[in-house]
Structure 1
Amino acid sequence: MFKDDDLIAEPGKKFSYTTHGFTLASAVLEKASGKEFKKLVEDLTFQLGMRHTTLDVNKRVIPNRTKQVAILLFCYVEVSCDSVCFSYYMRNDKHTLENCPEVDNSYKWAGGGILSDVADLLTFANAILYRYPSSLKIIVAETFVSQN
């Protein structure tokens, strides 16, 4: 996907967040563990008791999922406004709640496809700080690189 792209900087010299970077990290995790990223996330969230954290999968209705914000600027006569999808869910012609047409976001789960709530995020942060302190050392060491 991005193997022929130029590097942003020499490794260790600059930090730059990218979804592709996290996608690559998830591929490394899969290779090292022999498990799919989905299974790794499910195992970790189960072990930590993070009951409100899940991968962003469009096939099921997820309780308390926030709606995406969209502004309708124009509604053409040819398009029925009722059938246009402005959130994760829509009402069909029988006014039953259903998922919008699926978009497969699994390729970017690691870079921004995990849904959670504040309590579970706190649980995750505490796990890094107190349960897996060696992870914190790695994160801090990699975060504080020269920005010259």
Structure 2
Amino acid sequence: MKQYVILFASFLISFSGISQDKNEEVAALLKEMISEKKVAGVVAAYAVNGEIIGQSAAGYANIKTKEKFNLETKVRMGSIAKPMTALAVMQLVEDGLVELDAAIQTYIPDYPTQPKTQITIRHLLSHTSGIAGYKDGRESNTKVEYPTLYDALSLFKDRELLFEPGTQYSYTTYGYTVLGAVIEKVTGGTFEAYIQKNIWDKAGMTNTGVEKFGVKMDNKSELYTRNNGRGKAKKAKENNLSNRIPAGGFYTTSGDMIKFGNAVLDNVFVKESTLNLMREHHSLEKENNAYGFGWFLYAKKPKEGAIIGHTGGQTGNTSFLFIVPSKKAVSIILANTSRAQSSVNPVANTLLGLSIKSAKK
């Protein structure tokens, strides 16, 4: 997945003397996106010091029925799930139940071993495991149901690695599926139950959960996409996310994502020292943005980790989450349309300018 990131280090930095017209400014930007019909529906919000400064929604949750996309509309978050899973793993590290440099087999004994270096928890968190991503589009858009995360491992665990673990970086959703299975083995319960109790409940996130294939829910957006990132948004076919739940199988709302970001800043999930470790560059040298444990690091050296967050891009979703710890700032944008980065990015760049302007007041 291409990372359209640094342009969207937006809504952020610092705010003083913020006026009520911020909602109107955000609304105008989103309406412009909708007018081009490249995104069916979108919501955005930003907060500073725990308080939402600006938020707005635009477009449709369902184009056919003309159901409006609003602040309470549930939408896929895509890979923003990864920081949540990483935080869950680091909670277990803090509790002494998981070791960063322990091999997968410590927790999943029958996971295939490698000829030389074994895949560790550290490798999985930082995308340096060598586990490949989706084999093809069909695999990404599968309708196959995997009853458990352990069952989902059968999809890829016997495939040849891209490289020896720890020697290179290669972004992979499946590495986080393994982490979810590790959490289940260590805790003796389901990944969903653990993440509900230890992440969502702790942050007060009442509108976030695991998406279940074929199960309808109230106020949930339909899925839309664009053909190869071109043209107008059109209805997309639902795909089954049971092979990637810890990496991108959640739905949420903008309000819940702001709560999540604020909880990260307030050290609700892990100690400050643990979060600082997650913000370090663990992905080896790579182009564009560095990667920590579950976080993209959006500032350049020597300030890597000054801005953290994650993007999301899957069927029916384009999303961006950004957190600036030093400024206590959080921003989120969630669109119900995949392959929409080219439409979202210009808005992100404009919002970056607005945030900098506000910071200078």
Distance 2:281 2:185 in 1: 21
- The structure 2 residue matched to 1:16, chosen from 159, 170, 187, is 170
- The structure 2 residue matched to 1:108, chosen from 244, 263, 272, is 244
Is the Cα–Cα contact under 8 Å of residues 209 and 252 in structure 2 kept in the other structure? yes
- The structure 2 residue matched to 1:38, chosen from 192, 195, 199, is 192
* Structure 1 residue 41 displacement after superposition: 2.0
User: Larger % of strand: which?
Assistant: 2
Letter in 1 for 2:258: L
Residue 139 of structure 1 aligns with which residue?
Answer: 278
Query: Aligned in 2, Cα 1:87/1:144: closer, same or farther, shift over 3 Å?
Result: closer
- The structure 2 residue matched to 1:127, chosen from 223, 239, 263, is 263
Residues 72-113 of structure 1: per-residue CA shift (max 9 Å, x gap): xxxxxxxxxxxxxx568xxxxxxxxxxx8xx65333211211
Query: So what's the TM-score if we normalise by structure 1?
Result: 0.65
User: Any idea what SS the aligned residue of 1:115 has?
Assistant: strand
User: Larger % of helix: which?
Assistant: 1
Relative to structure 2, which stretch is displaced further, 35-44 or 118-127?
118-127
* Structure 1 residue 129 displacement after superposition: 3.3
Is the Cα–Cα contact under 8 Å of residues 19 and 108 in structure 1 kept in the other structure? yes
Residues 30-79 of structure 1: per-residue CA shift (max 9 Å, x gap): 112222111012212122110111110135432322211268xxxxxxxx
User: Any idea what SS the aligned residue of 2:201 has?
Assistant: helix
Find runs of 4+ consecutive structure 1 residues off by over 4 angstroms: none
Distance 1:36 1:123 in 2: 23
Query: Aligned in 2, Cα 1:58/1:6: closer, same or farther, shift over 3 Å?
Result: closer
Distance 2:265 2:176 in 1: 21
Is the Cα–Cα contact under 8 Å of residues 208 and 253 in structure 2 kept in the other structure? yes
Matches within 5 A, 1:43-122: 43=197, 44-58=199-213, 60-69=215-224, 104-122=240-258
Query: Aligned in 2, Cα 1:62/1:134: closer, same or farther, shift over 3 Å?
Result: farther
Distance 2:163 2:259 in 1: 34
Is the Cα–Cα contact under 8 Å of residues 241 and 248 in structure 2 kept in the other structure? no
Distance 1:32 1:134 in 2: 23
Structure 2 unaligned runs (5+)? 1-153, 227-234, 288-361
Distance 1:13 1:122 in 2: 35
Query: Aligned in 2, Cα 1:29/1:144: closer, same or farther, shift over 3 Å?
Result: same
Query: So what's the TM-score if we normalise by structure 2?
Result: 0.30
Residue 161 of structure 2 aligns with which residue?
Answer: 7
Distance 1:5 1:58 in 2: 26
Structure 1 unaligned runs (5+)? 72-85, 89-99
Query: Aligned in 2, Cα 1:136/1:16: closer, same or farther, shift over 3 Å?
Result: farther
Distance 1:13 1:129 in 2: 32
Distance 2:219 2:282 in 1: 33
* Structure 1 residue 114 displacement after superposition: 0.5
Query: Aligned in 2, Cα 1:30/1:17: closer, same or farther, shift over 3 Å?
Result: same
Query: Aligned in 2, Cα 1:106/1:142: closer, same or farther, shift over 3 Å?
Result: farther
Relative to structure 2, which stretch is displaced further, 34-43 or 52-61?
52-61
Query: Aligned in 2, Cα 1:121/1:70: closer, same or farther, shift over 3 Å?
Result: closer
Relative to structure 2, which stretch is displaced further, 27-36 or 123-132?
123-132
Is the Cα–Cα contact under 8 Å of residues 13 and 146 in structure 1 kept in the other structure? no
User: Any idea what SS the aligned residue of 1:61 has?
Assistant: coil
Percent identity over the alignment is: 27
Of structures 1 and 2, the one with the larger relative CO (CA 8 A, separation 6+) is 1
* Structure 1 residue 142 displacement after superposition: 5.4
* Structure 1 residue 124 displacement after superposition: 1.8
* Structure 1 residue 13 displacement after superposition: 3.5
* Structure 1 residue 26 displacement after superposition: 0.3
